[in-house]
Amino acid sequence: MPSVPTGLASRAIATLDPGSFAWVMASGIVSIGTDLLGENVLSRVTLAVTIAAFIGLVLATAGRALWFSTFLRRSLVDPSVAMAHFTFVAGANVLGVRLLLAGYPGVAAALGAGAALAWLALNYGLPWSIVARAHRPVLREFNGTWFIWVVGTQSLAIMASGLTTPAPNLALRQGLAETAVCFWGIGVVLYLALVVIILLRLMVVEVTPREMGPAYWIAMGATAISVRAGAGILVLPGRVGTFPVAELHAFIVGTSVVLWAFGSWWIPLLVLFGLWRHVLRRYPLSYETRLWSMVFPLGMYAVASDALGRAAHLDFMVTIARGWVWVGVTAWIAVLASMAGSFLAAVVSHRRHTS
């Protein structure tokens, strides 16, 4: 294991959490949710934070690849954290979808293309690296971060369906619609496979308070983004070129409602896990990067409920969404304040040790 740099900035870059782009995901989805409510000022503020976070984290990741590549390579072959790299894919697409709503389809398409390339590399590179190293992850190495694989996949489905209407020609619109359906299907099957493994891990392997972190909220977030991806397909024209989207509507609605219900089932269980971790086992409640992995599902649940409720004429989901948006906003503000406090504490501590 290489030694960790002593400088504050260099240490932060070298040890950058692979899941740091969850900050972008969380801020972006809160911006989308508040935009749906017509809260324009709050939506623009969170959009500005999303853009700043994305640019900063891209630069930090590039610096890590250039100067601390050993740390980066280790995170790519560690089954317990490798899948967190998919937060870049999801973060780029969430930001892209928000910019698409703001009227910037070209920028959104560029972000979607970059995310698709990253997804191809990670989707095949990460499983291959595990097999090539002859290292099979045991149950303990599976955790909530594996669901980000699903989130990244479904974010591509949402981006593809969102770009279908503004696409400049029919062939491209048809290709994007077909891509959206295919990625939605891949994401649903991935979720079904992973949820069995994760539930088995929770029931069979002893889980410590440290392991039972906020990343498990992505189990709910993966269902929510799958619902949102399905809703994005439902609002496409009944036929795009020769692709008969309407013939898939009944299946997509049924599957999305089941996923929405299962995601709703997760919420009380995840709250209980949190109480067990912090109240019964007295694990310290402090800032950690993966808290953003809890904020994103809360925001996505609201956005997905609104999207499916409108697309499938399920008014109760729209009602739930209008209230739940503020749960996501509250969580976003709390985690942002906690992050700022943690950063200031780190700066003060570093100055004391170097003075």
**Per-residue model confidence (pLDDT) at position 206:** 78
pLDDT attached to residue 349: 82
**What pLDDT is stored for residue 353 in this prediction?**
75
pLDDT tens digits, the chain, 355 residues: what are they?
A: 577 777 788 888 999 999 999 999 999 999 999 999 899 999 999 999 999 999 999 999 999 999 999 999 888 888 778 899 999 999 999 999 999 999 999 999 999 999 999 999 999 998 887 666 655 556 677 888 999 999 999 999 999 999 999 999 999 999 999 999 999 999 999 999 999 999 988 888 878 888 888 989 999 999 999 999 999 999 999 999 999 999 999 999 999 999 999 999 999 999 999 999 999 999 988 899 999 999 999 999 999 999 999 999 999 999 999 999 999 999 999 999 999 999 898 888 877 777 6
Q: What is the pLDDT of residue 89?
A: 98
**128's tokens:** 């291959």
Cβ-proximal residues to 178 (8 Å cutoff; 6+ apart), any chain: 243
For 299, the token pair is 């925001």
Residue 46, Cβ density class (10 Å: 0-12 exposed, 13-18 middle, ≥19 buried): buried
Say which residues have a Cβ less than 8 Å from residue 196's Cβ, sequence separation at least 6.
none
One-letter identity of residue 319 = T
Dig out the tokens for 224 from the structure: 């929510």
Determine the pLDDT at residue 51. Answer: 98
Are the beta carbons of 227 and 308 closer than 8 angstroms? yes
Q: Which value, in Å, is the radius of gyration of the alpha carbons in the chain?
A: 20
* Distances, alpha carbon 275 to alpha carbons 57, 233, 281, in Å: 31, 37, 9
Q: Which residue has the tokens 């000022």?
A: 41
Task: Kindly list the distances between the CA atom of residue 21 and the CA atoms of 14, 27, 54, 59, 243, in Å, as whole numbers in the listed order.
Answer: 15, 10, 7, 12, 34
What pLDDT score was predicted for residue 98? 98
Distance, in Å, from the CA atom of 186 to the CA atom of 233, rounded to the nearest integer, reads: 14
pLDDT of 151 reads: 98
The reported pLDDT for the residue numbered 165 is 93
Lookup: tokens for 235: 């609002």
CA distance 282 to 224: 30
CB 73: neighbour CB atoms within 10 A?
Answer: 12
CA 336/CA 329 separation, integer angstroms: 11
